[in-house]
Amino acid sequence: MRILFIGDVVGRSGRAIVGERLPGLVRDWKLDLVLINGENAAGGFGITEAIFNEFIDAGADAVTLGNHAWDQREALVFIERAPKLIRPINFPKGTPGKGAAMIEAKNGARVLVMNAMGRIFMDPLDDPFTIIDHELNACALKTGADAIVLDFHCEATSEKQSMGHFVDGRASLMVGTHTHAPTADHQILPGGTAFVSDIGMTGDYDSVIGMVKDEPLSRFLRRIPSERFEPATGPGTLCGIGVETDDKSGLALKIGAVRLGARLEEAVPKFWA
């Protein structure tokens, strides 16, 4: 199975390059599953139903969220009728939506997609390790799903790497999201799970994590907020990770970085080039 996971889409620049490039990537790379983290897609904060539908129409099979899941209040309502929109699984009981969903890939495979938030330097949600362990025990790789993908949305690299080793051999792919800077540690762990600490953002990299530079810089210099953060609107770069899995085991065979667009050095998985 060929999987593409696209990193945190930030604002109009991120949405534009997804719309421009994703349909061609699905065709040219013969992708079976496309996942997008969309929690910053609406003006940098949250997601709307219209934007969610844009991603699905462009070729995404599911969209994950994170700590900005509810910044657009309409998401609290439309997530209940959007089974392909997946919020962190360790939100408190009674939170709208679901943190795990069985998604049908383009090739008909059954893929369990999960989203969880870390707790270091983040909101103190329920323990993600315990909840993910429960999900993996309830729906094991190959007996319950043909592939399993986890988006772990958190600040600390140590927490992301720990989760990677925790699910190694039980998931096809674990990606870290949230910090908006792609890391170079993509690898297949000893048990066969593809892993990367952070897949980076999809947006304008002439920015501070996707935002216009002036306000973040001003806050660091003066410690006084003067304006709200606004997404940078220059040409976007699409960042993500590409993975091929073994149809028999569901584990990863190959992994490669994806960087396409304006500023960062281009990267394409050699096995898809």
Q: Which residues are catalytic?
A: 68
Single out the residue of 96, 153, 99, 95 nearest to residue 123, CA to CA: 153
* Cβ neighbours of 19 (radius 10 Å): 14
What is the DSSP code string of the chain? -EEEEE--BBHHHHHHHHHHHHHHHHHHTT-SEEEEE-TBTTTTS---HHHHHHHHHHT-SEEE--TTTTSSTTHHHHGGG-TTEE--TTSPTT-SSBSEEEEE-TTS-EEEEEEEE--TTS---S-HHHHHHHHHHHS-BTTTBSEEEEEEE-S-HHHHHHHHHHHTTT-SEEEEESS-S--S--EE-TTS-EEES----BB-SSSBTTB-SHHHHHHHHHS---S---B--S--EEEEEEEEE-TTT--EEEEEEEEEESSSPPB--TTT-
Please state, in angstroms and as integers, the Cα–Cα distance from residue 260 to each residue in 82, 177, 263, following that order. Answer: 29, 18, 9
- Residues in the chain, total: 273
